[in-house]
Amino acid sequence: MTRSRSRKNPAAPAVTAADRPDADLSFTAFHQMNRASYVRYAETYLRHRQDAEEAIDSTFEHLLRTWDEVLLTENPAAYAWTVMRNKVVDHARARTRRPPVIDEAAFNTVALRDAVDPIGQITESLALFRALRQLTDRQQDVMVMIYLQGMNAPAVAAVLGMTSATVRSTVRHSLRRLREILGPDRTMEGQR
């Protein structure tokens, strides 16, 4: 029996997403559509699949408990992404690691594996990743998903709860900002 808080009995428990089949379906669909992208993103920062899955499981547990409120937000996908991002940071801190940063991802790039001058590539990559940390969270997320994970604009838009045009605009602004940070003698050849 579904219990709902009534005016006659305000102490009765409120209906939660777990009590409503339609909410279960929307949450299940959301989970199925986003889990793989969330895990891939978390793994980029946490560097271990098991840690990434734990952080994402915690994210979805939180989202399920608050699903009714999530659905009432202006942009549920964007809200869920913020929850996930915070859970990844919390997970890293709970493991007594530094908060997730992009720097170490430089050592896993294709550019390093194919570099003629690996030391020069490491130096260049570290400068780029330090510059990436100066971008906004949204810009960092978009750049990581596009360039490190190889996602296309429509896929990034679906996960982040924005339009493809917004993703492309974010990439343009991010690249412009990175060029400003890195200076005129540093180019970002091969960037999209």
Residue 168 has pLDDT above 80, yes or no: yes
186 pLDDT more than 70? no
Across 77-95, average pLDDT? 91
- Taking the C-alpha atoms of residue 97 and residue 99, their distance in angstroms, rounded to an integer, is 6
In the chain, the DSSP E strands lie at: none
* Reported confidence tier of residue 191, pLDDT bands at 50, 70, 90: very low
Q: CA–CA separation, 128 vs 187, rounded Å? A: 10
Query: pLDDT per residue over 143-167, tens digit each?
Result: 988 988 889 999 999 999 999 999 9
Question: What b-and-e string marks burial along 34-67, b requiring 16 or more CB atoms within 10 Å of the CB?
Answer: beebbbbbbbbbbeeeebbbbbbebbbebbbebb
Higher pLDDT, 70 or 12: 70
Confidence (pLDDT) at 5: 39
pLDDT, tens digit (0-9, with 9 covering 90-100), for 125-134: 677 778 888 8
In angstroms, the first-to-last Cα distance of the chain is: 54
